[in-house]
């Protein structure tokens, strides 16, 4: 399933790049070419180059009529099957020059998909702006799930996008927790653990270089350097989707007891209490019970994520470990962005 992984050098701090695209053909219809698929024939996507950067952009404006799933303007997405990734990240750079709506699509399987949707230009309260989802604020960023004609808003923030500024978009999926970030906005939702990120791409609504009369206003939304990466939380070279012990480095994937959980993640067995007070450690101070320390035969093993009392112990260790893991993931996304330039 992850043949591409072996061909790619591991990215820094927890991610392995498995798919990227940087060759959008200039002035060509991208839908139907090189694995890309479009949802609306009336609003093509094309390619452009600016220096060394390759961009995809929406070419035409169309009146915001109809609904999702009907094959009209609401379905103006361009997606690529990319590669199989469940736990990982999808990152892309967006550059909007119009003030209507654009988005980043992921988990797309034709009838159902997720999208980080941005409607409205930040700070612009006077122009008429379009949003494909009625009832949202004029300026809004929303994490949404689309299934046919049905749309569910999973999380949102009342903030639009700044035009003529590049915006880095990061979509991260880790054990059922989905997090989408653009600029200063970060949204999240729990999703099914069988959710997959692949089926990634772009979205535009009433944003395009040409209006319905065929006149060019030059305004649209551009996207460049889409990257799909698999999460490798313990940096052992085995991505989490394939790792039998995600939290502890075990590149050999050893599973000594054959239980499907890597040996590195197996809990140590507690010493057996023989009833004599001997727990396998000589802490009695010289035998005979003379003034020495002797436990009660109960051994506590602190493991990350275990339950313990409010006084500290393993719960504190677990909190620190989770914080470190989160920081590593953020550094991994930052590293991907740096690699994309």
DSSP 198-230: -SEEEEEES--SB-TTS-B----EEEEEEEEEE
Instruction: Walk along the chain (341 residues) and give the pLDDT tens digit of each residue.
Output: 333 333 344 344 488 888 999 999 998 899 999 999 999 988 889 999 988 899 999 988 777 778 999 999 999 999 999 988 988 899 999 999 888 899 999 999 878 999 999 998 876 665 657 889 988 867 899 999 999 999 999 999 998 888 899 999 999 988 889 999 999 899 999 998 778 999 999 999 988 776 665 566 667 899 999 999 988 766 665 655 555 565 666 665 666 676 667 677 766 544 555 555 554 444 444 433 333 322 333 322 232 333 333 333 333 333 333 333 444 444 455 555 555 45
CB atoms within 10 A of CB 28: 13
Q: In Å, how far are 47, 151, 286, 309 from 209, measured between CA atoms?
A: 12, 27, 86, 61
Listed in sequence order, the DSSP H helices in the chain are 314-340
Can you give the pLDDT at residue 114?
Answer: 97
CA–CA distance, 154 with 145 (Å, rounded to integer):
7
What domains does the chain contain, in order, with CATH numbers?
5-239 (2.60.120.560)
Can you give the pLDDT at residue 329?
Answer: 46
Strand locations in 124-265, DSSP E?
140-147, 150-157, 167-174, 177-182, 185-190, 200-205, 221-231
Half-sphere exposure of 131 (CA within 13 A, CB side): 22
Can you give the pLDDT at residue 281?
Answer: 46
Contact indicator for 38, 203 with CB cutoff of 8 Å: no
Contact indicator for 219, 209 with CB cutoff of 8 Å: yes
Q: Does residue 262 sit in helix, strand or coil? A: coil
How much is the pTM?
0.72
Q: In Å, how far are 141, 157, 221, 265 from 184, measured between CA atoms?
A: 11, 10, 19, 36
Looking up tokens 């094959």, which residue turns up? 71
Contact indicator for 199, 113 with CB cutoff of 8 Å: yes
């Amino acid at each position: 399933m992850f043949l591409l992984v072996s061909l790619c050098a591991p990215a820094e701090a927890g991610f392995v790049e498995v798919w990227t695209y940087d060759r959008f053909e200039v002035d060509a219809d991208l839908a139907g070419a090189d694995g890309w698929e479009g949802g609306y024939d009336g609003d093509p996507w094309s390619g452009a180059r600016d220096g060394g950067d390759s961009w995809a952009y929406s070419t035409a404006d169309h009146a915001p009529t109809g609904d999702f799933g009907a094959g009209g303007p609401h379905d103006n997405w361009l997606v690529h099957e990319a590669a199989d990734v469940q736990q990982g990240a999808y990152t892309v750079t967006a550059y909007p020059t119009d003030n209507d709506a654009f988005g980043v699509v992921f988990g797309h399987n034709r009838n159902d998909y997720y999208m980080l949707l941005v409607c409205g230009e930040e700070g612009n309260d006077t122009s008429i702006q379009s949003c494909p989802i009625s009832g949202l604020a004029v300026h809004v960023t929303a994490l949404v799930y689309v299934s046919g004609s049905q749309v569910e808003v999973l999380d949102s923030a009342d903030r639009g996008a700044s035009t003529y500024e590049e915006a880095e978009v990061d979509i991260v999926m880790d054990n059922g927790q989905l997090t989408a970030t653009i600029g200063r906005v970060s949204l999240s939702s729990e999703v099914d653990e069988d959710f997959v990120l692949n089926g990634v791409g772009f979205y535009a609504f009433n944003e395009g270089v040409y209006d319905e009369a065929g006149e060019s206003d030059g305004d649209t939304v551009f996207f460049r350097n889409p990257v799909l990466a698999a999460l490798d939380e313990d940096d052992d070279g085995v991505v989490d989707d394939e790792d039998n012990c995600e939290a502890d480095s075990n590149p050999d994937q050893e599973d000594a007891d054959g239980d499907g959980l890597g040996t590195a993640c197996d809990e140590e067995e507690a010493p057996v209490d023989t009833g004599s007070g001997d727990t396998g450690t000589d802490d009695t101070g010289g035998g005979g019970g003379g003034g020495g320390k002797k436990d009660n035969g109960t051994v506590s093993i602190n493991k990350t994520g275990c339950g313990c009392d409010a006084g500290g112990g393993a719960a504190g260790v677990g909190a620190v470990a989770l914080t470190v893991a989160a920081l590593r993931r953020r550094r991994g996304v930052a590293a991907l962005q740096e690699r994309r330039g």
